[in-house]
Structures are given as C-alpha cells and as structure tokens.
Structure 1
C-alpha cells in the first residue's frame, strides 16, 4: 500500500474551507449554548421544585438522546408541520446551516447547564453568606459572586465540552453541510483516496483541538490566578510560623 501525499496537498485548501465552516458552527453554537445554559443552570439550583422541573426535563431530553437524532428531528421533523412551514421560522428551519446551529446550540446548552449547576453548588457557602452579610441582593450576588466563581470552576470541564462539540459537529455533514467531514467525504467520492483524505481531516481536527486546549488553559490560569496568590501567601505564612500549616 502506498500513500499519495500529493492528493492531500492538492485538496488541502478545500479541507481548510470545510474546517472554517466547522469552526463557525462550533463558535456560534457555543455562544448561543452558553447563553442558554446560564439561565437553565440558575433555574436548576432553585429551591422551588416546580421551577427546577422544566430545565430538568429539557436537560434530560437533550442529554439522553443522540445528537444525530436531534439534528434529524429539527431538519426533517420541522417540515412535517404545515404551521411551521407557514411561519417566519421556516426561513431558518428550511436551511441545513441553521438547523445544525439550532441542534448544536440546544445540545451543548443542556450539557453546559449541568456543568454550571455543579459549579454553582461547589461554591463555598461562606462566600454566599459573606455577600448576604454585605447586603447584596440576589441578582447582585449572582452577577458579582456566583457566576464569576462558577465560570472559574467550570472552565476545565467546559473546555472538554467544547472539544466534544467540535467532534460532534462532524454530524453536520449528514444534512448536506460541507464542514470538514462533509468536505472530506465529497473529496473521497471523487478521488477514491479515503485513507489519505480522512488522515488529513483527522490531523486538522487534532490541530484545532490542541488550540482549544491551549486557549482554555491560558484562560483558566487567568480566571483562577487568585488561587495561585492564595497558595503563595499561605506558603509564606507557614514559613513564618510552621504551626499554621495545619
């Protein structure tokens, strides 16, 4: 078996075009998803069980069903309802691009909401009590204390979720979108070189994932830099008085 490296170089520009569409899908879906996830997470930590019920049902559905099924339900299912076809929503739901955006956004919102919920519940109770002692209102506590701390806690896990969404975005090719996987399949249909083209596509996915991992690590260090200062101060104090180590 011999590899035809010239095929990779010949079609690399087209693969990069597909990669740009993949990044676009992930970026837009990620922004919409996190915007939906924050209110869902806040509703999930409500003490009222009736308030928690609706976001729980939403999260349960989108986490419990395959992303491919969700894409098909939106892309093919919407056209089955005449009311939808007659509404202004049909301008979006008739386009595979927007159907993919909607499916990816709603899917990642469910997973991100659970991550943020866990992060909110992991915030030390003393910080919330301190905010209450200062007379902060609930909305102010959420804006100044809860969400900044939660994002700092959830960032490593959210980075993993974004990488999973990057890999899941390959399903966009099932509804005719020429993302990286879709473009690779189109090229293979013309050249009959699946090994070379899928290898090149895999390397591009790997490179994008590496960039995501590096970017999130830098962002995590910036958001959680106060922890480094706290550990540094604690270390200096134990050097002054070793009894403080315990």
Structure 2
C-alpha cells in the first residue's frame, strides 16, 4: 500500500488493536477474511465502500445493516473503521481486511505459544507444494470446489500442523485473491513474522546448518538489520560452498557460484 492507503491502514490498525484485545482472535481472523472475500466478489459494493465522496456515516450505516449479527462485534468495528477511511484504490480496502485477518490469526497463535510453529509450518508447506507439482495443480485448480480443496488440505495436514496454520492455508487456497499460491504464502509468512517484529530470511546451504551456525548467523543478521531475524533453512545440493540468504528483496550470496557470477558481471562491465 502507498500514500493515502498506507495512512488509512495505520489508522484502521489502531482501531483493530483496540477491539482485538478482548476478542476471540480466531473468530476475528475468520470474519475479516470472509468480508475481504465478500468485497472481492461484489465490485460494486467494494467501490461504494471505498468511494471517498460518500459520507463515512452513510457507509457505516450500510455496513452495520449488512453485517450486523453476521460477524463478531470486533470484526464489525474493524470493518466500520475500514470503510470510513480513504483508500488510494478500492482494492486496498479488501487487502487491508485480509492483512488484518492474518494479523489476528498470528496473535491467536501467539496467545497459544504457537507462533514459531505456525511460521515454520507455513514455510514448510510452501516447500512441499513446490516439490509436488500434482499437489499444487490440485490446490490451484479453479474448477475444483472450495470444499474439495479444504478436504484435501485436512487430509494432508490434519493434526500435523497447528489449527491456525491449517486455517490460514485453507483460506488462502480457497480464495487466493488474484495471487499465485507461492506469493500468498510468502505474504502470510511475513505478516506472521511481523507479529514478533521479526524479519524472515531464507537460507540455502548444501548441508544442514548446525544449531550453533544458525545462532551465529541469526546474531549477525540481527546486528546488521537491527531487528530479530527468523531463519527458514533449506538444504540445496546445488549450492557449492558457503550459503545464500534471501531477506525480502535482498540477496546475500557467499557461495562459490555466486562469487564467480559476481566476477563475470564485473568483467562484463
């Protein structure tokens, strides 16, 4: 989000934080996601709610009439704050509600002591999908009923992951909101990490890193970036010497292949 939407999202988040303090966080997450999906499916409603020319009081009245009694009070107050705000584009309204739904799910996980588990499980699920084209095809098949996808995920993940993880993955698979599955998972992972104000780094090495190596690497990244960094590690036999780290859009490459490529670029320049 940029400009006006970024400012509005901050204001809506303030309201969300106030009502979430005493809310059923799992219900709040589900309700906010459901409203985001509703707005995706009703372009006219989305445009009207995001129309800066319409009085906030009028939009609030419509929201309370349409959703009152159908979603929890905390979700209703968050949606009211969202439609009363001004957005750079109509789609940002639904995006904001989805982001807050993931934040609520992350807070729910944190309240149960599951935050690390959920973050790791989302990352591992992404790698499972990446390694199984048939599974990915089944999950992204637009012709497949949402209920069938939910049943497949329940069979695949079931009690192997925390309930928050299963809920997040199921919502994303059933309603990707125009993103591919990998992009959606990356967004969810980063939102979960932000619950603890952490950055997420993907580390690839030819052999598994020891616990001591992980601690040293995490400490170095924390010193470098001024924030805690959660490490998602991958073993990749194609990595020759050293390791690579992807942190957001930034790549730190200490591999032999990376050094050779850097020399080639310099010579070409």
| Both proteins in one fold, TM over 0.5 | no
Asked which structure has the greater CA Rg, the reply is 1
Which structure has greater strand proportion? 2
Q: With structure 1 as the length reference, what TM-score do the two structures score?
A: 0.31
